A = this chain, B = another copy of it.
Amino acid sequence: MTRATSTLKTYNQDCSDCPIRHRAVCARCESDELEQLEQIKYYRSFEAGQTVVWAGDTMDFVASVVTGIATLSQTMEDGRRQMVGLLLPSDFIGRPGRSTSAYDVTAATDTVMCCFRKKPFEDMMLRTPHIGQRLLEMTLDELDAAREWMLLLGRKTAREKISSLLTIIARRDASLQLTMTDGSLSFDLPLTREAMSEYLGLTLETVSRQMSSLRKEGLIVTEGKRHITIPDFDRLLEETGDDSDGGFLM
């Protein structure tokens, strides 16, 4: 929260400082277009666990995650929940052309989002084709991720699911690029056991047991409840059930 608020202050001054400029919606914008985006953007920060919008609520903005992690989830009447989206920094939230959210959007950690008011953003999309192109690219990437996720949900064992999730987070979490020294990686798990279980289509007890099992076998090392070290990434990869080559390449 404290950290979130201070970053907010910094970014709010000028879009050129804003990390999303380089990676998300406005990656290819000219300076005048950046200026237009400046006009319609604002920042919001959320504490870990806080709900951004509920499924069915009206959502009058689209957004890009600046820092932190947000999730999209669906809930069934009887309370069964399935996560369907995991949004890391630079990921995009919201669907142009729809006014209500189809999913619960939740901040998994303290999170800052760069929001754009929906209507002006859509207008701008019409005027500026490469924003739409960028959005198409991002949506196609998300679709690929969703399909990988479907394989995980439909066919992988609990152990494979856990290993897969750990490798996914390890790969995408930029912060740990630094910590690769002797070939081991370490990072803070940004998800509770419950959030992991919602991602994986398991119960939190099964998640906990499988984590313990990986720990006992030395595939992961834990410090406290959240900090994880992977001493040998390739060895963990073998537990995911994935093709050894695929994914990383191309």
Binding site for B on A (CB under 8 A): 72, 74, 76-78, 80-82, 84-85, 95-97, 100, 102-103, 129, 132-133, 135-137, 139-140, 142-144, 146-151, 153-155, 200-201, 241-243, 250
In the bound assembly, the distance between CA atoms of A76 and B154 in angstroms comes to 12
Closest CB in chain B relative to A247 CB, distance in Å: 10
A149 touches B150 (CB 8 A): yes
A80, A132, A133, A147, most chain B CB atoms within 10 A: A147
Query: For residue A151, which residues in chain B have a CB less than 8 angstroms away from its CB?
Result: 74, 76, 82, 84
A129, A154, A250, most chain B CB atoms within 10 A: A154
Query: For residue A201, which residues in chain B have a CB less than 8 angstroms away from its CB?
Result: 153-155
Query: For residue A136, which residues in chain B have a CB less than 8 angstroms away from its CB?
Result: 96, 132, 135-136, 139
Query: For residue A133, which residues in chain B have a CB less than 8 angstroms away from its CB?
Result: 132
* Other A-B pairs beyond A81-B155, A85-B147, A150-B153, 20, CB < 8 Å: A74-B147, A74-B150, A76-B151, A76-B155, A77-B243, A78-B241, A80-B155, A82-B150, A82-B154, A96-B136, A97-B140, A100-B250, A102-B144, A103-B147, A135-B136, A139-B139, A139-B140, A142-B143, A146-B147, A149-B150
